[in-house]
Amino acid sequence: MDVLRLRRRVLRGVTPVLLALIGALVLLPVPLMHLAGIPLLGLGLYFGFRNARACEVFRSASGTCPSCNSHTDLFVGFGRPPFELPVKTSCASCGRNLMLERVSGMAEDQ
Ligand SMILES: [Zn+2]
C-alpha cells in the first residue's frame, strides 16, 4: 500500500481535469460535438476530485486463505484507482471470495 503525499495527490487530481479541459477545448469549435465537452469536463472534475481525495493506493496484498490455508497473492487492482477498505478479492488457489479489511495497528508498507 502506498501512502500518497500531498504533491502526488495534487498531480493525480489535476491530471484528469486538465485532460478533460483539453478535450473540451478541442470539441468546442465542432458543431453539436461541443455539447459533449460539458459532461467530459464533469467527468474530469469527478475523477480529479476522487484521485485527489485518496490518501492510500493498494499495490499488492498477500495472505493466508482461511478456506484452503494456502499463502497466496491477492488481486487488489492495478494500483491506479483509490481503493477504500474493505476490498473484495478472491483466493488464487481455491477461488473463494475474500474481503480485505483494515486491521488496527496495520503497518504502512504491507
Ligand atoms: Zn483459498
Q: Say if CB 63 and CB 71 are below 8 A apart.
A: yes
pTM for the whole structure: 0.59
CA of 74 to the centre of ligand 1 (A): 10
More confident of the two residues 75 and 20:
20
- Model pLDDT for residues 81-91, shown as the tens digit of each residue: 555 677 788 88
CA of 93 to the centre of ligand 1 (A): 5
Q: Say if CB 27 and CB 33 are below 8 A apart.
A: yes
- Model pLDDT for residues 54-85, shown as the tens digit of each residue: 777 777 778 888 889 888 887 776 656 555 67
What local confidence, expressed as pLDDT, does residue 62 receive? 81
CA of 22 to the centre of ligand 1 (A): 46
Q: What angle do CA 78, 10, 46 make, to 5 degrees?
A: 70
CA of 56 to the centre of ligand 1 (A): 26
More confident of the two residues 17 and 86:
17
Report the distance separating Cα 21 and Cα 12, nearest Å.
15
Provide the pLDDT confidence category of residue 25 given band limits of 50, 70 and 90: very high
For ligand 1, a single-atom ion, which residues have Cβ within 5 Å? Answer: 65, 67-68, 91, 93-94
Provide the 8-state DSSP code for 35: G
Domain segments of the chain as ranges = 2-55, 58-100
